[in-house]
């Protein structure tokens, strides 16, 4: 086996299947396992995907939301066992891959048009 095959086969064992096809602009709800002291619970984080970094096993999404008037951005490794579920709430229309312009916007200006259904 060459190097690429070995790495691919090891990565394949850690990769999750059935992850949704997420794109920048989509609104998602991410269920994350958090450890508090010795207890574990699931927390959900809902917001707009600002960026998707593709990299097979390292695939990650940056999700932005406004929480108590403060913008919060969290990055999730999609294949991490701590990320239990990723649910698409809404498909947003985005013309670029990284939506950093959302940082300068507040309120309604920070929302994206909903994607039109493709036939």
Q: Which positions touch other proteins (CB under 8 A)?
A: 1, 3, 6-7, 9-11, 13-14, 33, 35, 57-58, 77, 79-82
Which CA distances in Å does 112 have to 7, 11, 23, 36, 94? Answer: 38, 34, 13, 35, 7
Supply the minimum distance, in Å, between the C-beta of residue 17 and other proteins: 15
Q: Are strands 70-77 and 60-67 parallel, antiparallel or unpaired?
A: antiparallel
Supply the minimum distance, in Å, between the C-beta of residue 76 and other proteins: 11
Supply the minimum distance, in Å, between the C-beta of residue 94 and other proteins: 27
């Amino acid at each position: 086996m060459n190097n690429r095959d070995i790495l691919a086969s090891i990565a394949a064992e850690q990769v999750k299947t059935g992850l949704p096809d997420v794109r920048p602009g989509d609104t998602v709800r991410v269920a994350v396992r958090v450890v508090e002291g010795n207890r574990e619970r699931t927390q959900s984080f809902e917001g707009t995907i600002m960026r998707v970094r593709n990299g097979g096993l390292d695939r990650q999404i940056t999700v932005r939301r406004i929480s108590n008037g403060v913008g919060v951005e969290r990055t999730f490794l999609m294949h991490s066992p701590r990320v239990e579920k990723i649910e698409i709430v809404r498909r947003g229309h985005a013309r670029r891959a990284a939506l950093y312009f959302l940082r300068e916007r507040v309120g309604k200006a920070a929302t994206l048009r909903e994607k039109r259904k493709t036939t």
